Chains A and B, each alone.
Chain A
Amino acid sequence: MPSDRFVQGEMLMRILVWSAVAAFALMGAGVADAQQAQTPRKGGVIRMTAPYAASFGSLDPQATPRAQDDIVNKAIHRTLYNWDTANSKLVLELAKSVSVSDDGLVYTYKLRDDAYFHNGRKMTADDIIYSYTRIMDGKKGYPGARYIRLIKGATDVEKGTAKEISGLRKIDDYTLEITITDRVDPGYYLFSGSTAILPKEEAEKPDFASHPVGLGPFKFKEHIPGSRVVMERFDKFYKPGKPYADRLEVLIMAEAAARDVAFRNKEIDTSILGPAQYVAYRADPQLAKGILEVPEMFTRSIQFNLADGGAKPFKDKRVRQAFNLAIDSDLIIKRLVKDKAYRAVSWLPPSSASFDKTMKPYAHDPEKAKKLLAEAGYPNGFEFELTTSQNESWGMPIVEAIMPMLAKVGIKIKPKLVEVTVLTEIAMKGEHQAYIGSSLTGPDSLATLRCYYSKTPRTACNYTGFSSPAFDKLLDEAGQTGDMAKRTDLLKQANNVLYDEAPVWFFNYNKAVLAHQPWIHGLQANPTEITHQYPEDIWVDATSPAK
Chain B
Amino acid sequence: MLLVLARRLANVVPTLVAVIALVFLLFSVLPGSFISGMGEDGRTTIDPAVMERMRKEMGLDDPLPERFAKYIAHTAVGDLGKSFRTREPVTYLIGQRIWPSLKLMFAAMAFAIVVGVTLGFLAALRPGSLVDTVSMVAAISGLSLSQFWFGLMLMYLFALTLQWLPSFGYGDGGIMHLILPAIALGVGPMALLARTTRAAVLDVLNADFVRTARSKGMSERRVVEWHVLRNALVLVITIIGLQFGSLMGQAVVVEKLFAWPGVGSLLIDSVFQRDMPAVQGCILLIVLFFLAINTLVDIAYVAIDPRIRYGR
A residues bordering B, Cβ < 8 Å? Answer: 52-55, 57-58, 60, 63-68, 138-143, 145-146, 209-210, 224-228, 251-255, 257-259, 261-262, 264-265, 267, 298, 389, 391, 393-394, 418-425, 428, 437-440, 457, 459-460, 529
B residues bordering A, Cβ < 8 Å? Answer: 31-34, 36-51, 53-54, 57, 85-88, 93, 96-97, 100, 152, 155-156, 159-160, 163, 166-170, 173, 255-262, 265-266, 268-269, 272-274
What A residues does B268 contact at CB under 8 A? 54
Contacts A63-B87, A529-B43 given; does A421 touch B36 at CB 8 Å: yes
- Are B156 and A67 in contact, with the CB atoms below 8 A? no
12 A-B contact pairs sorted by A residue (CB < 8 Å) = A54-B266, A63-B86, A65-B46, A139-B57, A227-B169, A262-B167, A265-B159, A393-B41, A420-B36, A421-B274, A424-B36, A425-B31
> 5 smallest A-B Cβ distances: which pairs?
A226-B261, A438-B42, A67-B43, A146-B47, A52-B40
Per the bound structure, the CA–CA distance linking A68 and B42 in Å amounts to: 11
What B residues does A265 contact at CB under 8 A? 159-160, 163, 166-167
Which residue of B34, B50, B266 contacts A146 across the interface (Cβ within 8 Å)?
B50
- Are A255 and B257 in contact, with the CB atoms below 8 A? yes
Per the bound structure, the CA–CA distance linking A73 and B298 in Å amounts to: 49
- Are A254 and B259 in contact, with the CB atoms below 8 A? yes
Which residue of B45, B96, B168, B173 contacts A65 across the interface (Cβ within 8 Å)?
B45
Per the bound structure, the CA–CA distance linking A54 and B31 in Å amounts to: 21
What is the distance, in angstroms, from A217's C-beta to the closest C-beta of chain B? 23
What B residues does A460 contact at CB under 8 A? 48
- Are A391 and B170 in contact, with the CB atoms below 8 A? no
Contacts A228-B169, A265-B166 given; does A428 touch B48 at CB 8 Å: yes
What A residues does B43 contact at CB under 8 A? 52, 66-67, 298, 440, 529
Per the bound structure, the CA–CA distance linking A267 and B33 in Å amounts to: 35
- Are B88 and A262 in contact, with the CB atoms below 8 A? no
Per the bound structure, the CA–CA distance linking A428 and B160 in Å amounts to: 44
- Are B261 and A225 in contact, with the CB atoms below 8 A? yes
What B residues does A226 contact at CB under 8 A? 96-97, 100, 170, 255, 259-262, 265-266, 269
- Are A253 and B169 in contact, with the CB atoms below 8 A? yes
- Are B87 and A421 in contact, with the CB atoms below 8 A? no
A-B contact count (CB 8 A): 193
What is the distance, in angstroms, from B181's C-beta to the closest C-beta of chain A? 11
What is the distance, in angstroms, from B276's C-beta to the closest C-beta of chain A? 12
What A residues does B46 contact at CB under 8 A? 65, 143, 424
- Are A225 and B159 in contact, with the CB atoms below 8 A? no
What is the distance, in angstroms, from A391's C-beta to the closest C-beta of chain B? 7
Per the bound structure, the CA–CA distance linking A264 and B163 in Å amounts to: 10
Per the bound structure, the CA–CA distance linking A165 and B260 in Å amounts to: 44
Contacts A57-B85, A226-B266, A265-B159 given; does A438 touch B41 at CB 8 Å: yes
- Are A227 and B32 in contact, with the CB atoms below 8 A? no
What A residues does B100 contact at CB under 8 A? 224, 226-227
What B residues does A439 contact at CB under 8 A? 42
What is the distance, in angstroms, from A111's C-beta to the closest C-beta of chain B? 27
20 extra A-B contacts, CB within 8 A, seeds A255-B259, A257-B155? A53-B272, A55-B261, A57-B85, A65-B45, A67-B41, A141-B54, A143-B50, A210-B88, A227-B169, A227-B259, A253-B169, A258-B167, A258-B258, A258-B259, A264-B160, A265-B163, A267-B169, A419-B272, A423-B38, A439-B42
- Are B40 and A67 in contact, with the CB atoms below 8 A? yes
Per the bound structure, the CA–CA distance linking A438 and B43 in Å amounts to: 8
What B residues does A262 contact at CB under 8 A? 159, 166-169
- Are A58 and B85 in contact, with the CB atoms below 8 A? yes
Per the bound structure, the CA–CA distance linking A419 and B268 in Å amounts to: 13
Per the bound structure, the CA–CA distance linking A226 and B258 in Å amounts to: 11
- Are B257 and A258 in contact, with the CB atoms below 8 A? yes
Per the bound structure, the CA–CA distance linking A226 and B86 in Å amounts to: 13
Per the bound structure, the CA–CA distance linking A138 and B265 in Å amounts to: 32
Which residue of B48, B166, B256 contacts A267 across the interface (Cβ within 8 Å)?
B166
What residue in chain A is nearest B272 (Cβ atoms)?
Answer: A421
What A residues does B42 contact at CB under 8 A? 298, 391, 394, 420, 437-440
What residue in chain B is nearest A145 (Cβ atoms)?
Answer: B50
What is the distance, in angstroms, from A310's C-beta to the closest C-beta of chain B? 19
What B residues does A68 contact at CB under 8 A? 40
Which residue of A67, A209, A257, A394 contacts B86 across the interface (Cβ within 8 Å)?
A209
- Are A257 and B152 in contact, with the CB atoms below 8 A? yes
Per the bound structure, the CA–CA distance linking A60 and B88 in Å amounts to: 11
Contacts A141-B54, A251-B259, A419-B32 given; does A53 touch B40 at CB 8 Å: yes
What A residues does B273 contact at CB under 8 A? 53, 57, 421
Contacts A258-B155, A438-B42 given; does A54 touch B256 at CB 8 Å: yes
Per the bound structure, the CA–CA distance linking A224 and B95 in Å amounts to: 12
- Are A55 and B265 in contact, with the CB atoms below 8 A? yes
What residue in chain B is nearest A222 (Cβ atoms)?
Answer: B172
Which residue of A141, A393, A424 contacts B53 across the interface (Cβ within 8 Å)?
A141
Per the bound structure, the CA–CA distance linking A282 and B16 in Å amounts to: 53
What is the distance, in angstroms, from B167's C-beta to the closest C-beta of chain A? 4
What is the distance, in angstroms, from A54's C-beta to the closest C-beta of chain B? 4
What A residues does B41 contact at CB under 8 A? 52, 67, 391, 393, 438
- Are B32 and A141 in contact, with the CB atoms below 8 A? no
- Are A425 and B168 in contact, with the CB atoms below 8 A? no
Per the bound structure, the CA–CA distance linking A57 and B256 in Å amounts to: 16
What B residues does A138 contact at CB under 8 A? 53
Interface centre among A264, A389, A425 (most CB of B within 10 A): A425
- Are A254 and B256 in contact, with the CB atoms below 8 A? yes
What residue in chain A is nearest B94 (Cβ atoms)?
Answer: A225
What A residues does B50 contact at CB under 8 A? 141-143, 145-146
Per the bound structure, the CA–CA distance linking A437 and B41 in Å amounts to: 9
Contacts A55-B266, A145-B47 given; does A424 touch B38 at CB 8 Å: yes
- Are A53 and B39 in contact, with the CB atoms below 8 A? yes
What is the distance, in angstroms, from B124's C-beta to the closest C-beta of chain A? 37
Per the bound structure, the CA–CA distance linking A393 and B41 in Å amounts to: 9
Per the bound structure, the CA–CA distance linking A460 and B265 in Å amounts to: 32
- Are B86 and A261 in contact, with the CB atoms below 8 A? no
Per the bound structure, the CA–CA distance linking A391 and B41 in Å amounts to: 7
What residue in chain A is nearest B43 (Cβ atoms)?
Answer: A67
- Are A209 and B40 in contact, with the CB atoms below 8 A? no
What A residues does B160 contact at CB under 8 A? 261, 264-265
- Are A66 and B38 in contact, with the CB atoms below 8 A? no
What A residues does B156 contact at CB under 8 A? 261
- Are B44 and A65 in contact, with the CB atoms below 8 A? yes
